[in-house]
Amino acid sequence: MKIRVLDVPDSGLAALVRLSNGDMRKALNILQVFKLLIPILYLFKKRKSEKQQSTHMASQKITEEAVYLCTGNPLPKDIEQISYWLLNESFAESFKLSETKTRKGLALIDIVREVTMFVFKIKMPSDVRVQLINDLADIEYRLSFGCNDKLQLGSLIAIFTKARSALVAVVK
């Protein structure tokens, strides 16, 4: 039997546990996929001289970022940036989310799920949070039935614009 030693920092382990939802089979699948992708990404890195998001996995170290990229899930820093745009930018400016989604190869349903979890972490009045979570659940439901992504992206931006207006009204 061959014993393999993995270089997994605490942040990488936390990401692995979070994305596998505590299911050891899923965690092992993620690790297997990671192991399979390392040689492919190393070749990809050699061919492309410019820095791209997937080249971070070309090392043997299982970092938080590598786990997220390997599974295709949005990075926590991307979700924070998206949430910032949704909460602070105008409706038109928030559509740069579409560009980021395309550039990083993210699915809108994954963004909605992660933004929903982010909403639970930020401080806001409970009535605004409840309405926002309910609206996010509606978007996730519609996406699961194959509704148009652009239409649902507009809906996502609209619910955050509405929530922002409610937050401003509470402050006044």
pLDDT tens for each residue of 112-132: 999 999 999 999 999 999 999
pLDDT of residue 20: 87
| Mean pLDDT computed over 166-172 | 86
Q: What is the mean pLDDT of residues 70-91?
A: 89
CATH 3.20.20.70, applies to 76-171: no
For residue 3, name the pLDDT band (cuts at 50, 70, 90). Answer: low
Compute the distance between CA of residue 10 and CA of residue 82 in angstroms, rounded to an integer: 25
Collapsing DSSP states into helix, strand and coil, what is residue 5? coil
| Between 29 and 43, the higher pLDDT residue | 29
Q: Measuring CA to CA, which residue among 84, 91, 68, 75 is closest to residue 153? A: 91
Q: What is the pLDDT of residue 5?
A: 64
Rounded to the nearest integer, the mean pLDDT of the chain is: 83
pTM: 0.77
- Domain map (residue ranges) of the chain: 10-71, 76-171
Please report how the helices 108-121 and 76-88 are oriented relative to each other, as an axis angle in degrees rounded to 10: 80
The sign one gets for the Cα dihedral 140, 122, 27, 52 is positive
